[in-house]
Amino acid sequence: MIVKHLDQLIGTSAEVDTPGWTSRRFVLKSDGMGYSVHDTVIKAGANLEMEYRNHLETVYCVEGEGEIEDIATGEVHPIRPGTLYALNRNDRHYLRANKGTHMRMVCVFNPPLTGFEVHDETGAYPLITDEN
Ligand code: 9YT
């Protein structure tokens, strides 16, 4: 059984900080679960273009407010605590946190991330950030 607290991840290699987001990886490929689980903070004002070509991702917002834009259709969906989105078509998207509030998201990836995607995150393209 794997039991962890967020406190145990902070400041370790399981915590990855970038200009637009900080992610704490609870479960990774090496844990053998078949998926990975992340507690990810999208920084206030961040505007991230992402496309996970090789992974399916489901994201559940537990804090903050922002929006997701489906780049293929231009549709924009507001995000607030309780909103879930599932990128069932590896959808290319912009993820934006409103100015003045970070968003905290619980993310699940299938297949799992290895944890080594940090600087070469296949298909994920963080682009523009401000207010960091
Ligand atoms: C919200 C979101 O796309 N999170 C992705 C997880 C994060 N980029 C990570 O742990 O690499």
- Ligand 1 atom with least separation from CA of 24: 10
In the β-sheet with 124-128, what is the strand arrangement from edge to edge? 76-79, 66-70, 93-97, 47-50, 124-128
Strand pairing class (84-86; 56-63): antiparallel
CA atoms of 35 and 57, how far apart (whole Å): 10
Q: Would you place residue 100 in the very low, low, confident or very high pLDDT band (cuts 50, 70, 90)?
A: very high
Residue nearest to atom 10 of ligand 1 (CA): 23
CB distance 33 to 112 below 8 Å:
yes
Tokens read off for 124: 């994920």
State the pTM of this model: 0.89
Residue nearest to atom 7 of ligand 1 (CA): 23
Tokens read off for 112: 């799992």
Summarize pLDDT for 48-60 with one digit per residue, the tens: 998 888 889 999 9
Q: Is 59 in the pocket of ligand 1 (CB under 6 A)?
A: yes
Amino acid letter, 36: S
Tell which one of 107, 108, 114 to mutate to probe ligand 1, the residue whose CB is within 8 A of the most ligand atoms. 107
Summarize pLDDT for 27-81 with one digit per residue, the tens: 999 999 999 999 999 999 999 998 888 889 999 999 999 999 999 999 999 999 9
- Ligand 1 atom with least separation from CA of 42: 1
Q: Is 96 in the pocket of ligand 1 (CB under 6 A)?
A: no
